[in-house]
Amino acid sequence: MSTTPVGIIGEFTEVNATISAAEKLRDAGFRNWDIHTPYAVHGLDKAMGVKRSMLSYFSFVGLVGGLSTALGLQYWTGAIDYKLNIGGKGFFDWQFSIPIDFELSILGTALLTVAGLFHLCRLPTWYNRYQNDESFKKATDDTFVVTIDSDDDRFSADGTQDMLRKLGAANVHLVNASAE
């Protein structure tokens, strides 16, 4: 097994303590770190100083894309490519286009929202540097797991561990690169 640490892990079990720790770590200037939680904790992202999500821009692009596809498709096929008189109705009218405009706008928004979510969260990534750590696995169960990566500028194997312990983290330990 290699001895180079990839990061440090610490466990919290109480949500308010986790929030305070997040604020302290944020103020200490750490960048490559995260807190893994079993559910979305309100305000933890703010406490960590995570910037506003770009996701809604993806959704908006999807909305515009879906709407313009719907309008373009109905206009081009009906009024340009093949004009077919059906019951004397217009070749294209915004009124009858509404149901499909609406549905494709929703579809486009949903597809791009999920695509954007996957992109921003880097899903799927079937590997994580901490994946074999027992503490890390508890993050999907009942523990708030702080991870600080060794490639962070402020990382120091001993100093950062001490800091986490002072913040109240339990079971603080170094994680070494796994053998595989």
Partner 1 sequence: MTVVQEQERLQNSLHNEEPVREGLVLGNPSMRDVTARIASIVESKITMKYLATLAVTGGMAAWGVFALYYTFTTGIGAWGLNNPVGWGWDITNFVFWIGIGHAGTLISAILFLFHQKWRTAINRSAEAMTIFAVICALTMVLSHTGRPWLFYWLLPYPNQMQMWVNFRSPLAWDVFAVNTYFTVSALFWFVGLIPDLATLRNYVKSDLAKKIYGVLSLGWTGSTRGWHHYEIAYMILAGISTPLVLSVHSVVSFDFTVGILPGWHTTIFPPYFVAGAIFSGFAMVMTLLVITREILDLKQFITLKHFDNMNKIILATGMMVGYAYAMEMFIAWYSGSDWERWVFINRAMGDYSWAYWTMVLCNVISPQVYWFKKARRSIPLMFVISIFVNIGMWFERFTIISTTLHHDFLPASWGYYSPTWVEISILIGTFGIFLTLFLLFAKFVPVIAIAEIKSILPGSQPKHHHAEHQI
**Binding residues vs partner 1 (CB under 8 A):** 15-16, 19, 22-23, 34-50, 53, 55-56, 59, 73-74, 77-78, 81-82, 84, 86-87, 89, 96-97, 99-100, 102-104, 106-107, 109-111, 113-114, 116-118, 120-121, 123-128, 130, 136-142, 145
Q: How far is the CB of 70 from partner 1 (least distance, A)?
A: 8
Q: How far is the CB of 106 from partner 1 (least distance, A)?
A: 5
Closer to partner 1 by CB, 3 or 77: give it: 77
Q: How far is the CB of 104 from partner 1 (least distance, A)?
A: 7
Closer to partner 1 by CB, 144 or 155: give it: 144
Closer to partner 1 by CB, 9 or 163: give it: 9
What's the one-letter identity of residue 92? F
Closer to partner 1 by CB, 3 or 131: give it: 131
* Residue 128 phi, psi dihedral angles, 5° rounding: -145, 140
Closer to partner 1 by CB, 108 or 163: give it: 108
Is the sign of the CA dihedral 127, 128, 129, 132 positive or negative? negative
Q: How far is the CB of 54 from partner 1 (least distance, A)?
A: 8
